[in-house]
Structure 1
Amino acid sequence: MATAKPATKAARTTADDETPKKIMKMVPVSKIDRDPGQPREHFDEAKLNELAASMKALGQLQSVTVRYNPETKRHTLVMGERRWRAAQIAGITELRAEVLYGVPDGDPQTLARAVAENVARADMTPMEEAKGFQKLVDLGYPIEEVAVMCGKSEAYVGWRIDLLKLAVPVQEALIKGHLPVGLAWYVANLSADNQQRFLGRWTRGEFATTRDAEAFAQACRQAEEERAAQGSFFVLAEGVEEAARAVGARGQDRLFGEVDLPSEERERIAAARKQLTGKIERLGTAGAILSELATTDPGELALLLAGAPGGIAAQKLRIEHLREVSMKAAKTLREAQAVAAVRAGALQVDPELAAAPADASSHTHSAA
């Protein structure tokens, strides 16, 4: 019976190289490259300088993780790019590293570790998070698993991924801090053209508050969906002046949604409007009562209301209920104001004009 020959040294080395393993060792900084697929792109220069000063004074407190590439005999960062950048600033020539061998380029688990480590940091931008989450989804990880790996909720991961629908100029505004991330999510649901028109309005300060801007974006999205269902296009005007020109003499009609309505419906709206505004005007009485309560001495209130039915607690509950209802009413009115602004300040593009062989820019100047 023939005896099997032991594997040669070369064969054993090849087999060992193909088996994933990790070794802690010192690696020259010059032989480490950043991962081109790293979702993190922005690094605070001041914080990097602080870290560099700390590393120069105290040494490297935490190792980096790199992947060895046998073809180039170089290392690619998996985790620790801030430390690698700071080391270069501090003039440090070697870094203590956990070196991964036998890990192929684009390995899902390695990428997941890198994304999870970076997302856990507070200085990741929303767009960097979005790109990192999307990379994991592209590798086949479901959103719920991505959420667990990165220590976030499923909703959070989904909201961040939605930001990838933002047009490039809007993404840049978000990255630079010119657009709040919460508002950016609402804007991401608009068409690319309307996103940029919305951004122009936001940067010109045409919204009193961020909530007003969010409500306006929601109303725009609703208008887009309604127009799409009708086979038409919804194009947001660039600003107030353009909106005024687009609306023209039918401004109030468009504002109150009374375009081409039968006379009976117009009469119904007029009567209901009069009734509603009359009720709202009576809120002045409630406001006067609340103002009186707000300015009355607490000691005097205690004397007057302690013996009333239900005592002070019952009166307090009534006021708190009014506050909750008024907050809901204010929210509804804010949304109504946004809908009115969209109707008055938007251009409705006729589908026949959109289909005509004309320059696409002409759509923004065609009113229904």
Structure 2
Amino acid sequence: MAVKTATTAPKGAKPRKTAPTGAPQSPTSDKSAATATAKIVAKTVPIDRIDRDPTQPREHFDEGKLQELALSMKELGQLQPVSVRYNAATRRYILIMGERRWRAAQIAGLTELRTLVHHGIEDGDPETLAKAVAENVGRADMTPMEEAKGFQRLVEFGYDIEKVAAMCGKSASYVGWRIDLLKLSLPLQEALIKGHVPIGLAWYVANLHHDNQARFLGRWVRGDFATARDAEAFAQACRVEEERQSTQGSFFVLAEGVDEAGAAGAQGGLFGELELPAEERERIVSERKKLVRKIEQLGTAGTILAEIATMDPGELALLLGGAQGGVGGQRMRIDHLKDVAGKAVATLRQAQAVASVRAGALQIAPDAAADTASNAA
């Protein structure tokens, strides 16, 4: 192929360019006989004859903002009509757009609402759902999971992801990433809704098996990760390990309660180093010593940079002004070091995640997993 309320793609994710496998193409523009005769009538309707649409993607409403809207409606009345459709079988009205106003009107004690009544619309009409999703998507108080469910329902109605994106004013990648969030376990969905997990991180975790999602959530809640970026790298490493072990006929499950110190002490054995041929072990030991020596030399660079950081700018200008390249040339050299250092930190973050995952991994053979399930039953 991301809590900030992200509208950007998770870093490192691959863009989704096509609809999910098997997704049908967009419905044709041909209308059914009922839809063809649809008409819209302005009408005042008793509130107690209006029902919410059970397919409405929004499920959470900010109570504080509802109270504010209710006070406004009590003082000024209803400023905009709501859209409803008439159900001839029940002789009741179902909301299409305007559920916030409907809820606030009830709080305000209003007994009637001005409506635009759509006749001839059947239950499950995809265009009606599309309007509801398009109206709500991107609102600050609409949760990522509500968006995901709304997008997924449109796909189930037959729209491909590109069409859904166009209707809702989003990119196809945005729609695809939101739908991917539906792979989250219920506890993680709840954590995302409440803002306890950043959306970018949630997307990476959604790619894990549910057992590992639960164990990951435990680590996140305990504060095992220094930053969200570290947590993302850990989730990515978990996914790679899941795929690696599945190709070997094993299941990968994160162990619980493994701290960083324990992981560091166990890395050699868990990486399988002792199982390698003697020649390969010798190579690893030799390369390890070389790399560690090089990293230790960074202390000299750090000392030089610390000295420059504390110098008087006027003195620096005097000393370096006559040097080749001048002050600007020396700054460019240090800027280059900063860029390379940033990339090195990112790579080390990923390496640390891989080490932590493998050190805290339980490898379960299929036969053992089957025996465990049988005993539990």
Q: Structure 1 length as normaliser, TM-score?
A: 0.89
Equivalent residue number for residue 305 of structure 1: 320
Contact preservation (8 Å) 2:161, 2:175: yes
* Correspondence for 1:48: 66
Q: What is the SS of the residue equivalent to 1:240?
A: coil
Q: 2:200 is matched with which residue?
A: 182
Q: Judging changes above 3 Å, is the alpha-carbon distance between structure 1 residues 62 and 210 closer, same or farther for their aligned structure 2 residues?
A: same
> For residues 316 and 65 of structure 1, what CA distance do their matches in structure 2 show?
62
Relative to structure 1, the CA distance from residue 227 to residue 177 in structure 2 (aligned partners, 3 Å threshold; closer, same or farther) is: same
Aligned length: 345
Q: CA deviation at 1:42?
A: 0.5
Aligned-residue identity in percent: 69
Residue 96 of structure 1 pairs with residue 111 of structure 2: no
Aligned-pair distance for 1:62?
Answer: 2.1
Aligned to 1:223: 241
Is the Cα–Cα contact under 8 Å of residues 51 and 86 in structure 1 kept in the other structure?
yes
Say what the alpha-carbon RMSD is for the aligned residues.
2.2
1:197 aligns with 2:215: yes
Q: Tell me if structure 1 keeps the 8 A contact 2:260–2:356.
A: no
Which residue does 2:367 correspond to in 1?
352
1:239 and 2:242 matched: no
- Structure 1 residue 64 and structure 2 residue 79: aligned? no
Correspondent of 1:284 among 273, 278, 299: 299
Give the Cα separation in 2 of the matches to 1:302 and 1:360: 76
Residue of structure 2 equivalent to 1:295: 310
Distance 1:111 1:55 in 2: 26
Alignment counterpart, residue 260 of structure 1, candidates 242, 262, 275? 275
Separation in structure 1 between the aligned mates of residue 92 and residue 78 of structure 2, nearest angstrom: 21
Answer yes or no: is 1:111 the counterpart of 2:126. no
SS in 1 for 2:362: strand
Note closer, same or farther for the CA distance 1:17–1:286 as it changes in structure 2 (3 Å cut). closer
CA contact 2:242–2:251 (8 Å) conserved in 1:
yes
Answer yes or no: is the 8 Å Cα contact 1:143–1:157 preserved in 2: yes
Closer/same/farther in 2, CA of residues 312 and 359 from structure 1, 3 Å limit = farther
| 1:321 is the counterpart of 2:339 | no
Q: Which residue number in structure 1 is paired with residue 94 of structure 2?
A: 76
Return the offset for 1:243: 11
Once the two structures are superposed, what CA deviation does each residue of 1:170-204 show, in whole Å capped at 9, x if it has no partner?
11111122211111111100011111111111111
Change (3 A) 1:275 1:243: closer
The offset of 1:225, in angstroms, is 0.2
Shift of 1:319: 1.6
The superposition leaves residues 110-159 of structure 1 with CA deviations (integer Å, 9 ceiling, x where unpaired) of 11000010113111101101000101111111111111111111111111
What 5-or-longer segments of structure 2 have no aligned partner?
A: 1-32
2:251 aligned partner, one-letter code: F
Describe the shift of the 1:47–1:360 C-alpha distance in structure 2 as closer, same or farther (beyond 3 A): farther
Residue of structure 1 in register with 2:7 after alignment: none
* Aligned counterpart for 1:32 among listed residues 50, 55, 61: 50
The Cα shift of 1:72 comes to 1.2
Aligned residue in 2 for 1:132: 150
Report the counterpart of residue 11 of structure 1 in structure 2: none
Change over 3 Å in CA distance of 1:241–1:50 after alignment to 2: same
Q: CA, structure 1 residues 121+258, in 2 after alignment: closer, same or farther (shift >3 Å)?
A: same
TM-score between the two structures when normalised by the length of structure 2:
0.87
Whole-Å separation in 1 of the counterparts to 2:108 and 2:259: 55
SS in 2 for 1:342: helix
Candidates 162, 172, 176, aligned match of 1:144: 162
